[in-house]
């Protein structure tokens, strides 16, 4: 009995590591194409980040949740935009987006399942680092 349970646990742990194939939207987003009349904003979480979810809001109306190893791609109108944390996070970043430009931000969340989110940060990163992190991550719906 114990041997069956151990074998089953091992098989389940292997299947938990299987990564799903990329979606068509993920493949398209990883082409890093600018949009001539809009700005593009990538928000990315490192694969080695906390397990806690990180809610963010764009301009007080569009909200997303980031998870470890995921990213979001926003296409926005040119002009001023505010990205801020929701809940325990006090993040606030102002961006004056220019048409045809791509911006990359790394979202880091600190916390545990017991304590929840204790702190988070959102920092601009350069294009090379942004692309590398996005390529390691999956688009989160």
Residue 55 burial (10 A CB sphere; 0-12, 13-18, 19+): middle
Number of structural domains (the chain) is 1
Q: Which two tokens stand for residue 37?
A: 């009349």
Residue 15 in any domain: the answer is: no
118-128 pLDDT, tens per residue?
678 899 999 99
The CATH number assigned to the domain holding 88 equals 2.60.40
CB atoms closer than 10 angstroms to residue 89: 21
Range of the domain at 30: 23-139
**Residue ranges, the chain, pLDDT below 70:** 1-20, 88-89, 112-118
Overall pTM surpassing 0.85 (yes/no): no
């Amino acid at each position: 009995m114990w041997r069956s349970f151990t074998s089953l646990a091992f098989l389940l742990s292997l299947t938990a590591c299987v990564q799903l194939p990329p979606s068509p939207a993920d493949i398209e987003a990883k082409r890093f194409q600018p949009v001539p009349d809009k700005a593009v904003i990538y928000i990315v979480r490192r694969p080695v980040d906390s397990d806690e979810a990180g809610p963010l809001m764009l301009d007080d109306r569009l909200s997303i949740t980031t998870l470890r190893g995921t990213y979001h791609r926003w296409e926005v109108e040119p002009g001023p935009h505010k990205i801020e944390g929701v809940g325990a996070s006090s993040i606030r970043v102002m961006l004056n987006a220019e048409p045809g430009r791509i911006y990359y931000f790394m979202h880091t969340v600190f916390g545990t399942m017991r304590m929840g989110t204790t702190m988070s940060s959102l920092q601009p990163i350069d294009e090379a680092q942004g692309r590398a992190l996005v390529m390691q991550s999956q688009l989160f719906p």
